[in-house]
Amino acid sequence: MKKQSVTLVQVAAKAGVSVMTASRAMSGDGYVSEDTKAKVQAAAKALGYAPNALARVMKGGRTNVIGVVVNDLSSVVVNAFVSALTEEVRKYEMDLFIYNSVGQLDEQTQRRHSQLLHGLWDGLIYVLPRMTDEYLEALERSESPIVLVNFCRRETTLPVVQGDNFNAARDAVAGLISQGHKRIAFIKGTHWTGQSAERERGYRQAMADAHLQIDDHWVQQGTFSEQSGQEACARLLAHDARPTAIFCANDEMAIGCMNAARELNVQVPEELSLIGFDDVSAASIVRPQLTTMRHPLPLMAQAAVQELMRRILGQPGKRQRVEFPAEMVVRESTAPAAGTVTKRRTRKA
């Protein structure tokens, strides 16, 4: 037999108060003495009463739900960040609702998502959003509390929590240069969030700082996927001016590079050094283990939720853009260039 839902009338009867008083005690609207409020809450708990979230929304109340909008749940980085968000949201005794919007966020999807921005949850966090300028402008006009994560394609009036991509990329390439590498290639990803462009900018800056020329062929287009990294690496290794090191805009493409090198009998790291970005779980499992750059995802998730909660509660935000530095995790996929004698870095994962 289907269990009947407990109603507010039953809660009021058990607490010995009117339905109106019970409603005020549960919603927080209007004055109710602390003693009466305690009786109503005790009755609700004893009966297993669950207030209807939609009813609270229609009354203009809080839902105690935070929405997270992602574009691709198959992304290792998105999954890792959502997991970190889940842990942080629990500290506020709130629920997390994940909305997976496949493909780019454009004007058409903005109309479809309008209900997300008004009422189903108290605030929204967009993780690695693939959004058009029109969609972003619609979010900027919205009065809903919104925080973007790892979006740096352009300036925005919305709060952004992101990892430092430029300096991390510059450090990664500078590390390769310190090991004697001069022919260093870069495999970039898609343009949506702006992260790949910042990592390319850091790559170019490190090469310029060392007065090293970049062969046009050394910068290859990828899509942040393992397959695209493998294909780009194959093109690089087939070229006459073959690089001795490759910096990839993410770990998945770097792992693809390992596959290409293996197929072409190119030894990593003896003949080809590889550095990725993100430090996904597979980076420490592949052989050789992948050297990479790591952003502090738990701290970034904490900052994103805290910034969103400030806006939900009507408190002033700290900063419009909060940026976290990256750490280099040195593993086995990098080594001095052939014929170079250098002191190998000792920091390990």
The tens digit of pLDDT for each residue in 270-314 reads 999 999 999 999 999 999 999 999 999 999 999 999 999 999 888
pLDDT at 347: 43
End-to-end Cα, the chain, rounded Å: 55
Tokens of 222: 């990828």
Reported as a single tens digit per residue, the pLDDT across 328-345 is 999 999 999 987 754 444
Closest to 338 (Cα-Cα) out of 291, 247, 271, 239: 271
Assign 12 to helix, strand or coil.
Answer: helix
Q: Which residue has the tokens 């780009």?
A: 232
pLDDT at 223: 96
pLDDT under 70: residue ranges of the chain: 1-5, 27-30, 50-61, 107, 110-119, 317-319, 341-349
Interstrand relation of 95-100 and 292-294 (parallel, antiparallel or unpaired): unpaired
163 φ, ψ (degrees, to nearest 5): -90, 155
The span from the CA of 72 to the CA of 74, in Å, is 5
14 φ, ψ (degrees, to nearest 5): -65, -35
Tokens of 20: 């109106």
* Domain annotation for the chain: domains and CATH numbers: 8-51 (no CATH), 65-158+297-320 (3.40.50.2300), 166-295 (3.40.50.2300)
Q: What letter would DSSP give residue 310?
A: H
pLDDT at 25: 81
pLDDT at 214: 96
Torsion of the alpha carbons at 189, 348, 271 and 261, rounded to the nearest 10? -50
243 φ, ψ (degrees, to nearest 5): -70, 155
